[in-house]
A = this chain, B = another copy of it.
Amino acid sequence: MDADAKKTSLRMIPYGIYVLTAKGGDAIGAATVNWVTQTSFDPPLVVVGVKADSGAYAILKESGSFALNMLGKGQQGVAFGFFKPAEVDGHMISGEPFEAGTVTGAPILQNAHASVECKVAEIVEQGDHHIVVGEVVNAHVAKSPEGRPDAAILEMKDLGDNVFYGG
């Protein structure tokens, strides 16, 4: 396989930017992710590729639940903040206020435009990131999009001309 062709073709896949959060016992994990897709309407399922050696992965695996917080245009700072390990201080994670999701307890970032709470339905342990299948069990919209929802989300290409995570 030609490595450049693999990189270019896989980088054609467009991505939004999300903060994945999870709470297990007293431990809270949060990490910026982009490998996300819906995979079923009924039940509503999503798939997230989560770095297998990350703290957020360990916590979601233990707790069996997580939240995906959708960032909006202009929230690059939030995205970059969660590239680093999460630091929890009261009701703040890495400087962002949160509250516990009502169904799962997973942190809902109050500044995210929308959030979904998910119960882990299955994990496929293949690759350097594992494939987490989540059933959406609750949804919050903090800021209704004015136009198309998929035009309101922060995208990978908004993070910088040469920023990619894929390929």
Q: Which residues of A contact B (CB under 8 A)?
A: 1-2, 4-6, 8-16, 35-47, 49, 70, 113-116, 121-122, 124, 126-131, 133, 136-141, 144-145, 148-153, 155-157, 161, 164, 166-167
Q: Do the beta carbons of A35 and B39 come within 8 Å of each other?
A: yes
Q: Do the beta carbons of A37 and B36 come within 8 Å of each other?
A: yes
Cα A4 to Cα B139 with chains together (Å): 9
Across the interface, name the chain B residue whose C-beta is closest to A117.
B1
**A interface secondary structure, majority:** mixed
Q: Do the beta carbons of B136 and A10 come within 8 Å of each other?
A: yes
Question: Which of B49, B70, B127, B138 has a CB less than 8 Å from the CB of A12?
Answer: B70
Q: Do the beta carbons of A150 and B9 come within 8 Å of each other?
A: no
Report 28 cross-chain contacts, Cβ distance below 8 Å, ordered by A residue. A1-B136, A8-B145, A9-B115, A9-B139, A9-B149, A10-B44, A10-B116, A12-B70, A12-B114, A12-B153, A13-B37, A13-B153, A14-B153, A15-B37, A35-B38, A39-B130, A40-B49, A40-B126, A41-B128, A43-B127, A45-B49, A121-B126, A124-B124, A124-B133, A126-B133, A131-B133, A148-B161, A150-B155
Q: Do the beta carbons of A11 and B156 come within 8 Å of each other?
A: no
Question: Given the interface contacts A116-B6, A140-B5, does A126 sit within 8 Å of B12 by beta carbon?
Answer: no
Question: Which of B15, B128, B152, B157 has a CB less than 8 Å from the CB of A42?
Answer: B128
Across the interface, name the chain B residue whose C-beta is closest to A14.
B150
